[in-house]
């Protein structure tokens, strides 16, 4: 049953995210990020740092990461510094690694329409170069430490933290219909799954990984092997733009 409806002032909604016990985030086509009270559907605040459409938002603990067509990703309240190599076009996905998955060289991930994934490190980390030796802007606190080139054959649309057999890991999904499992420490590809439709969203809990995409497609995968266990029945007939999974799979929400 529908609990509430959140209006977006006539703008197209491009991304949705929520916390289990916190705000719901609604992103609109004009680059605004609106934070609503999930229960009352009341607008709490509007974030206006992006100059173009926001393509993806994701919570990591209480931090919010956003990606945009304007070529930037933002960890609120810190903007990722542009560096070389860096994204030359739209940033289509962003993820803050879990604390146990972070290293001196990797705290954040961003991805783009070419299929590349960039790994970012904080300038406050021990291995980060000093501002005098770094060729990239340092005012915002992050620089690129590594690149996973051609991680997908088309745009990367979402990423999520998971716990896999080798420890901390993350999964990326894309319009190439692939879900790919990566070792967070080495960035090595450990497994992949080919879906029936281009993929737009991924979410995980301790028990399962859920992927979703075009034409309402949604499926449950084993988070350690990416073997498909269930195809979900969804009332969505169009592209899925938001996915939230509770502690138990029965609480999966598809938007």
pTM of the model: 0.78
CB proximity list for 81: less than 8 A, separation 6 or greater: 123, 136, 137, 138, 139, 140, 141, 142, 143
Coil, helix or strand for 135?
coil
Give the residues across from 132 on adjacent strands: none
Name the band, by pLDDT with cuts 50, 70 and 90, for residue 91.
very high
Residue 107: pLDDT over 90: no
Looking at the DSSP bridge assignments, the partners of residue 8 are none
pLDDT for position 238: 81
Residue 138's pLDDT is: 35
Q: What are phi and psi of 100, to 5 degrees?
A: -70, -15
Determine the Cα angle at 204 with ends 125 and 221, to 5°.
125
Question: Would you state the pLDDT for residue 131?
Answer: 39
Mean pLDDT score, 102-122:
88
Query: Which SS3 state, helix, strand or coil, does residue 158 take?
Result: strand
Q: Is 6 exposed, middle or buried (0-12, 13-18, 19+ CB in 10 A)?
A: middle
Write down the pLDDT at residue 188: 93
Q: Which residues of 70-96 are buried (b: 16+ CB within 10 A; e: fewer)?
A: bbbbbbeeebbbebeebbeebbbbbbb
Higher pLDDT, 128 or 220: 220
The whole-angstrom separation of Cα 182 and Cα 177 is 16
**Residue written as tokens 């980060």?**
128
Question: Is the pLDDT confidence value at 151 over 90?
Answer: yes
What is the β-pairing status of strands 91-96 and 73-75? unpaired
Name residue, tokens 């967070």.
Answer: 184
Q: What is residue 249's predicted lDDT score, i.e. its pLDDT?
A: 54
Beta strands in 105-177 (DSSP E): 108-112, 117-122, 142-148, 156-164, 167-174
Residue 193 has pLDDT above 90, yes or no: yes
Average the pLDDT over 121-132 and give the result.
56
**SS3 label, residue 253:** strand
pLDDT tens sequence across 42-55: 788 888 888 899 99
Average pLDDT of the residues in 17-24? 71
């Amino acid at each position: 049953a529908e609990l509430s409806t959140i209006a977006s002032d006539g703008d197209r909604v491009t991304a949705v995210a929520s916390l289990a016990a916190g705000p719901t985030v609604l992103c609109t086509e004009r680059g605004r990020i609106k934070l609503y009270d999930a229960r009352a559907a009341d607008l709490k605040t509007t974030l206006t740092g992006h100059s173009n459409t926001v393509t993806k938002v994701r919570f990591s603990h209480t931090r919010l990461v956003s990606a945009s067509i304007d070529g930037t990703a933002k960890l609120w309240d810190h903007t990722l510094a542009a560096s070389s190599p860096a994204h030359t076009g739209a940033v289509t996905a962003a993820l803050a690694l879990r604390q146990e998955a972070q290293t001196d060289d990797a705290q954040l991930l961003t991805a783009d329409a070419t299929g590349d994934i960039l790994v970012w490190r904080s300038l406050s980390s021990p291995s980060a170069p000093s501002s005098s030796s770094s060729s990239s802007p340092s005012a915002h606190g992050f620089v690129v430490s590594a690149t996973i080139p051609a991680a997908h054959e088309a745009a990367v649309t979402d990423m999520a933290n998971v716990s896999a057999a080798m420890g901390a890991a993350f999964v990326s999904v894309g319009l190439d219909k692939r879900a790919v499992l990566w070792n967070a420490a080495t960035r090595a590809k450990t497994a992949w799954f080919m879906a029936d439709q281009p993929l737009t969203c991924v979410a995980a809990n301790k028990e399962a990984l859920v992927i979703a995409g075009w034409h309402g497609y949604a499926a449950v995968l084993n988070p350690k092997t990416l073997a498909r266990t269930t195809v979900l029945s969804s009332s969505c007939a169009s592209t899925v733009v938001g996915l939230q999974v509770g502690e138990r799979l029965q609480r999966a929400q598809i938007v």
